[in-house]
C-alpha cells in the first residue's frame, strides 16, 4: 500500500502533466479540470501517506552495479514535506483556474506545475543520493520554465536564466558531495551514510559538508546567492506562492536538516550555517524595508524567514526549523496568493500607486492581514510559536551575536510587514485604480490557507512525535503540543521577542516622529536596492560569459559537413594519442 502511494505521489502529477499537454490548448476547460483533479488526488494521497510513515524503505528498485538501489523511504521529514508540496500545490492550482483564465499556452503552464509537484515529492521521499540530485535538477528546470513563462518579456527571461544558473551551480556542490560519499562508502543510500558517517576521512567529510551547504544556500536563495529570488517574481503569482515560497526553496533547508547528524561534528560547519542564516535574514530584512514592489517585499521576506530556518539548523534546533517551515509555507503561500489577487485586480505591482484598497477588497484584506500577523510573529498565529522556538534554540545553543541579530530582524520583520499592509490596504488612495475582490476559486484557496495559519501550530505535538519515531539519527526534545506551548510561554526570551515586535509596530505607527532617524538611515537605500553589491558581481560574470561566447562564435559555421569534419579530426587526434601511448 505504501509503495503504491509513493508511486502515485510521483506518477499522478507526471501523468497529469502529460495528459494536460496532449489535450492541447484548444480545450482550456479540460486542461483546468485535469490539472485540478491531478493535484487534488496527489494532495489526498500525500495526506494518507502521513499515516503510513515508517523508517524503513518502502520502495526498493535494484538498479544493479554502479547505481545502487533506488529506494524511497516515507519517514517523518519526507512525508511532511511531501504533504506540504502536494497540498499547497493543489491550492495553487485551484487558484490558477481563475488567475490564468484566458492565458495563452495554458498547457505548458499546467504541465510544468504538475511536473514540478511530482519531482518535489520524489525529492523529499527518496533515500538515494543520486535520485535526490536527479529530482533536484528537475525542480530547477521547471522553476526556470515557469519563471520565464511570459517568454516575450525580457525581464522574465532574464530572471529565469539567473535563477537557473545560480541553482545549477549549487547543484554541482550537491553532486560533488554525493560522489565523495560514494567514493568513501561505496553506497548512495542516505541512511547508510548517516549511520556510518564517522568512517569517512575528515577531509572528505568536510568537502561533502560544504558542498551540501553551497547547494542548500543556492537553492534557498541565502547569502551569498540571495539575488535570484527577488528577480524571480516575474513569474505568475501562483508560481511564486508554490515554488518560491512553499516548496522548492525549502529543499535547501530540507537538505541541511536531513544531513545535520552527519555534518554537525565537522569543524566550522555549524558556524558557517549560522552565519549564512543570520546574514541572509538581516540583509533581506533591510532590503524589504526599502522595496516598493509588493512581490519583491514578499520575496525578501521569504529569504529572511528561510534565514531563520537555516539559523535554527545551525544551532541544532531541527524540530524548530521544520516547525517554522510548516508555518512559513502556509502563511507565505497565503500572502503570495492574496498579493496575486490584488495585483490581478489593479494591474500594477508598485505599492506607491496603491492605497485604500481595503474598502474595495474586504476578503482579501482580511486574509492578507492574517498572513501578515503570522509573518510578524504575533501571538496565536502559527508564525509566533515557531519563531519563538527558533529564537530559543538559538539562545541555548548558538552564539550570542547571532541571537541578537535574529532578534533585531524580528523587529525589522514586524516593521516592513506593517509598512506593506498599510501601503496597500489603508490610508488614502494614491491613484485611481479599479479593484474587484477575489473570485470564487481564488477565495477557496485563500480561506483554506488563512484557516491554516490560525491552526497549524496545534499539530506541533503529533508532528514532533512523527519525526522522533521515524528518524533514528536525529534528536528531538518535544513530545506534545502542550509541551511546546508551555516552553514558549514560560521562556523569558519570548517576552523579549514580543517587546521587539511591538517596538517594530510602534515604529511604523509613529513614523512621523522618527523622520530624523529615517533621514540618517537614508544612505542605506542605494545599498539595499543593489542587493548589497552582489548584483554588480552578477553583472560582471554575465558580461565575461557573453564576451567569451561572442569570441568563440567564429568557429560555428553552421555547415553540417564542417561540424562533422571537426568531430572526425578530434577522433583522429584521440586515436593518435592512444596509439602513441600504447
Contact positions vs other proteins (CB under 8 A): 25-26, 62-65, 67, 99-100, 102-105, 150, 152-153, 236, 343-344, 347-349, 556-562, 564-565, 568-569, 571-572, 575-576, 578-579, 582
- Helix H, strand E, coil C: the string for 341-406 is HHHHHHCCCEHHHCCCCCCCCHHHHHHHHHHHHHHHCCCCCHHHHHHHHHHHHHHHHCCHHHHHHH
Query: What minimum distance in Å lies between the beta carbon of 557 and other proteins?
Result: 7
Minimal distance, residue 229 CB to other proteins, in Å:
18
Helix axes 250-263, 76-99, angle to 10 degrees: 170
Cell triple for 15: 501523468
Q: How many CB atoms lie within 10 A of CB 7?
A: 14
**Residue among 70 and 269 whose Cβ is closer to other proteins:** 70
Please, how many CA atoms are within 13 Å of residue 213, restricted to the half-sphere of its CB?
27
| Ramachandran sector of residue 361 (left: φ over 0; alpha: ψ -120 to 50; beta: rest) | beta
Residue 72: φ, ψ to 5°? -125, 125
Least distance in Å: CB of 306 to other proteins? 24
3 vs 22, beta carbon nearer other proteins? 22
The cell for 214 is: 553551497
Kindly state the smallest distance separating residue 19's Cβ from other proteins, in Å.
13
Which residues on neighbouring strands pair with residue 269, listed in sequence order? none
- CA–CA dist 574, 30 (Å, integer): 55
**393-431 exposure pattern, b = at least 16 Cβ within 10 A, e = fewer:** bbbeebbeebbebbbebbbbbbbbbbbbbbbbbeeeeee
CB 80 within 8 A of CB 463: yes
β-partners of residue 72 are: 59, 126
Q: Which one, 178 or 294, has the nearer CB to other proteins?
A: 294
CA 227 from centre of chain: 14
Give the separation between CA 242 and CA 235, rounded to whole angstroms: 11
Nearer to other proteins, 198 or 579 (CB): 579
Q: Judged by CB, which is closer to other proteins: 151, or 499?
A: 151
Q: Using the minimum distance from each CB to other proteins, give the nearer residue, 56 or 153.
A: 153
- Nearest C-alpha neighbor of 22 from the set 150, 133, 111: 111
Could you tell me the smallest distance in angstroms from the CB atom of residue 579 to other proteins? 5
The minimum distance between CB 25 and other proteins, in angstroms, equals 6
CA distance 100 to 28: 10
3-state SS assignment for residue 378: coil
Asked if residues 184 and 209 have their Cβ atoms less than 8 Å apart, the reply is no
- Give me the least distance between CB of 64 and other proteins, in Å please: 5
Neighbours of 44 (CB within 10 A): 14
C-beta closer to other proteins: residue 490 or 559: 559
Q: Shortest distance, CB of residue 111 to other proteins, whole angstroms?
A: 12
- Taking the complex as a whole, how short is the minimal distance between the CB of residue 296 and other proteins, in angstroms? 12
- The rounded distance, in Å, linking the Cα atoms of 238 and 339 is 10
Instruction: Specify the residue, 489 or 572, whose C-beta has the smaller distance to other proteins.
Output: 572
Question: Closest by alpha carbon to 277, among 326, 206, 216?
Answer: 216
Q: What is the DSSP string of 454-477?
A: HHGGGGHHHHHHHHHHH-TTS---
Q: How far apart are CA 234 and CA 143, in angstroms?
A: 12
Considering the complex, what minimum distance in angstroms separates the CB of residue 442 from other proteins?
13
- Taking the complex as a whole, how short is the minimal distance between the CB of residue 565 and other proteins, in angstroms? 6
C-alpha neighbours within 13 Å on the C-beta side of residue 105:
11
When the beta carbons of 103 and 468 are compared against other proteins, the nearer one is 103
Residue with smaller CB distance to other proteins, 401 or 562 = 562
**Contact 380/264 with Cβ under 8 angstroms?**
no
**Closer CB to other proteins, residue 70 or residue 193?**
70
Residues paired with 128 in a beta bridge: 189
* Shortest spacing between CB 42 and other proteins, in angstroms: 22
Pick 52 or 568: Cβ nearer other proteins: 568
Question: Residue 219 in contact with residue 135, Cβ under 8 Å?
Answer: no
- Residue 54 and residue 75 in contact, taking contact as beta carbons nearer than 8 Å: yes
Smallest gap from Cβ 563 to other proteins, in A, equals: 10
Nearer of residues 10 and 215 to other proteins, judged by Cβ: 10
Amino acid at each position: 500500500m505504501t509503495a503504491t502511494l509513493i508511486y502515485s505521489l510521483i506518477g499522478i502529477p507526471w501523468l497529469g502533466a502529460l495528459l494536460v499537454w496532449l489535450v492541447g490548448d484548444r480545450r482550456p476547460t479540460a486542461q483546468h479540470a485535469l490539472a485540478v483533479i491531478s493535484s487534488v488526488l496527489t494532495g489526498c494521497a500525500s495526506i494518507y501517506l502521513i499515516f503510513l510513515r515508517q523508517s524503513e524503505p518502502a520502495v526498493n528498485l535494484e538498479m544493479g552495479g554502479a547505481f545502487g538501489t533506488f529506494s524511497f523511504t516515507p519517514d517523518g521529514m519526507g512525508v511532511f514535506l511531501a504533504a506540504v508540496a502536494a497540498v499547497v500545490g493543489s491550492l495553487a492550482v485551484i487558484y490558477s483556474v481563475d488567475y490564468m483564465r484566458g492565458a495563452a499556452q495554458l498547457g505548458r503552464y499546467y504541465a510544468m506545475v504538475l511536473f514540478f509537484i511530482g519531482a518535489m515529492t520524489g525529492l523529499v521521499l527518496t533515500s538515494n543520493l543520486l535520485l535526490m540530485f536527479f529530482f533536484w535538477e528537475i525542480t530547477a528546470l521547471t522553476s526556470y520554465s515557469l519563471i520565464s513563462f511570459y517568454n516575450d518579456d525580457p525581464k522574465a527571461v532574464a530572471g529565469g536564466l539567473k535563477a537557473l544558473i545560480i541553482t545549477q551551480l549549487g547543484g554541482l556542490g550537491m553532486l560533488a558531495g554525493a560522489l565523495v560519499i560514494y567514493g568513501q562508502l561505496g553506497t548512495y543510500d542516505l541512511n547508510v551514510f548517516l549511520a556510518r558517517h564517522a568512517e569517512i576521512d575528515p577531509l572528505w567529510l568536510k568537502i561533502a559538508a560544504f558542498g551540501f551547504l553551497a547547494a542548500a544556500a543556492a537553492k534557498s536563495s541565502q547569502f551569498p546567492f540571495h539575488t535570484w529570488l527577488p528577480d524571480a517574481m516575474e513569474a505568475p503569482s501562483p508560481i511564486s506562492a508554490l515554488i518560491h515560497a512553499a516548496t522548492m526553496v525549502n529543499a535547501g533547508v530540507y537538505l541541511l536538516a536531513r544531513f545535520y547528524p552527519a555534518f554537525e561534528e565537522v569543524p566550522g560547519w555549524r558556524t558557517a550555517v549560522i552565519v549564512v542564516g543570520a546574514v541572509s535574514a538581516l540583509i533581506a530584512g533591510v532590503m524589504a524595508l526599502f522595496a516598493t514592489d509588493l512581490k519583491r517585499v514578499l520575496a525578501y521576506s521569504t529569504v529572511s524567514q528561510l534565514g531563520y530556518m537555516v539559523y535554527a539548523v545551525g544551532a541544532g534546533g531541527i524540530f524548530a526549523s521544520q516547525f517554522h517551515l510548516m508555518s512559513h509555507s502556509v502563511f507565505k503561500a497565503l500572502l503570495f496568493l492574496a498579493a496575486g489577487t490584488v495585483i490581478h485586480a489593479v494591474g500594477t505591482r508598485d505599492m506607491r500607486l496603491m492605497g485604500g484598497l481595503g474598502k474595495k477588497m474586504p476578503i482579501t484584506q482580511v486574509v492578507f492581514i492574517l498572513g501578515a500577523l503570522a509573518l510578524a510573529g504575533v501571538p496565536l498565529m502559527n508564525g509566533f510559536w515557531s519563531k519563538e522556538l527558533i529564537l530559543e534554540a538559538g539562545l541555548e545553543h548558538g552564539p550570542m551575536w547571532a541571537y541578537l541579530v535574529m532578534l533585531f530582524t524580528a523587529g525589522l520583520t514586524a516593521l516592513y510587514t506593517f509598512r506593506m499592509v498599510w501601503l496597500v490596504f489603508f490610508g488614502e488612495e494614491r491613484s485611481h485604480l479599479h479593484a474587484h475582490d477575489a473570485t470564487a476559486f481564488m477565495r477557496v484557496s485563500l480561506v483554506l490557507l488563512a484557516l491554516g495559519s490560525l491552526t497549524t501550530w496545534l499539530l506541533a505535538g503529533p508532528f514532533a512525535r512523527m519525526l522522533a519515531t521515524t528518524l533514528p539519527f536525529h534528536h528531538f526534545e518535544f513530545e506534545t503540543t502542550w509541551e511546546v506551548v508551555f516552553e514558549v510561554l514560560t521562556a523569558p526570551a519570548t517576552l523579549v521577542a514580543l517587546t521587539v515586535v511591538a517596538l517594530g509596530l510602534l515604529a511604523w505607527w509613529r513614523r512621523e516622529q522618527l523622520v530624523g532617524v529615517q533621514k540618517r538611515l537614508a544612505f542605506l537605500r542605494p545599498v539595499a536596492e543593489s542587493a548589497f553589491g552582489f548584483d554588480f558581481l552578477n553583472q560582471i560574470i554575465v558580461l565575461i560569459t557573453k564576451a567569451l561566447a561572442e569570441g568563440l562564435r567564429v568557429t560555428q559555421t553552421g555547415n553540417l559537413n564542417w561540424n562533422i569534419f571537426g568531430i572526425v579530426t578530434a577522433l583522429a587526434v584521440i586515436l593518435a594519442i592512444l596509439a602513441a601511448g600504447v
